[in-house]
Amino acid sequence: MKENVKLELDKKSDGDLLLDCGDYVTAMTGNVLFAALYIVAQVLKVKNAVIAFHGALNAPTSDDKKGNIVKTRDILERETKVLGNQVEEVANDPALPDDQRAGVIESAHMHKKDKTKRGNQKFDVFQSKTILHGAYITAKGIANSHTWAYTKDLVHFTNKTVSDPTTVAHYETGVLEENVEYAFFHLATIPKVATMWEGPIFKKIF
């Protein structure tokens, strides 16, 4: 059974493209599934393209800025498409059992063409291992800071508890109510790039 990678890079905002491509680099760096030298080299190309695109977005206003953003974004999309093809190639290795193919794509933090993506989330929520009845929220990709929020209102999402911005890509709540489901949200901040709140992710806290 052949698996196909779904990237849809051209549909992403500048901020989402930056976050997603940075996430692919993080997920694939040092990953034994992608240890082939040609893949390692391509991951480095994407990493350099992410850095260049980030630099173009954050550059001072000038006559060349818009053109540089378009140019560096085009390079990033092109190099990431090559990387996606390489992930697809690994996933469809004839020696790999069918039930492991999707896991290869997920290991790169990419998505299958037939997989419904859960909104536009770049974060996950887990039960805290250090705080009783707490939640551990972690984000992916490149951002200068992160803001986190959660609420028990699962319909209108009112009365959110909103954190102060953090420079680290993870956050632990305090003690929450036991056996209660919460909605969690995340906002990544990238200078001069418009980003939006992500979420909700629903998680019952025990």
Q: Between the CA atoms of 167, 204, 112 and 54, what dihedral angle is there, to the nearest 10 degrees?
A: -10
What does the alpha-carbon distance between residue 197 and residue 37 come to, in Å, rounded to a whole number?
A: 37
SS3 202: strand
CA torsion through residues 2, 17, 141, 160, sign: negative
Contact 27, 108 (CB under 8 A): yes
Q: Residue 119: its pLDDT value, please?
A: 44
Q: What is the mean pLDDT of residues 118-133?
A: 79
Q: What is the mean pLDDT of residues 144-162?
A: 92
Q: Residue 16: its pLDDT value, please?
A: 87
For the chain, domains (ranges, CATH) are 5-112 (no CATH), 123-205 (2.60.40.10)
Which candidate, 174, 182, 180, 183, places its Cα nearest to that of 134? 174
Confidence at 114, pLDDT banded by 50, 70, 90: low
Q: Residue 121: its pLDDT value, please?
A: 60
Q: Residue 1: its pLDDT value, please?
A: 67
Which candidate, 90, 117, 86, 94, places its Cα nearest to that of 102? 90
Question: When comparing pLDDT for 47 and 2, which is higher?
Answer: 47
Identify the residue whose tokens are 């954050």: 58
Answer whether the bond into residue 200 is a cis peptide, omega within 30°.
Answer: yes
Confidence at 103, pLDDT banded by 50, 70, 90: confident
Q: Residue 136: its pLDDT value, please?
A: 94
Q: Residue 192: its pLDDT value, please?
A: 78
Q: What is the mean pLDDT of residues 16-28?
A: 91
pLDDT beyond 90 at 75: yes
pLDDT tens readout for residues 29-39: 999 999 999 99
Contact 197, 153 (CB under 8 A): no
SS3 92: coil
Prediction pTM value: 0.61
Cβ neighbour number for residue 45 with a 10 Å cutoff: 17
Which candidate, 191, 79, 93, places its Cα nearest to that of 145? 191
With vertex at residue 188, the alpha carbon angle to CA 153 and CA 159, rounded to the nearest 5 degrees, is 20
pLDDT beyond 50 at 12: yes
The overall average pLDDT reported for the chain is 89
Confidence at 117, pLDDT banded by 50, 70, 90: very low
pLDDT beyond 60 at 154: yes
Which candidate, 161, 156, 180, 159, places its Cα nearest to that of 171? 161
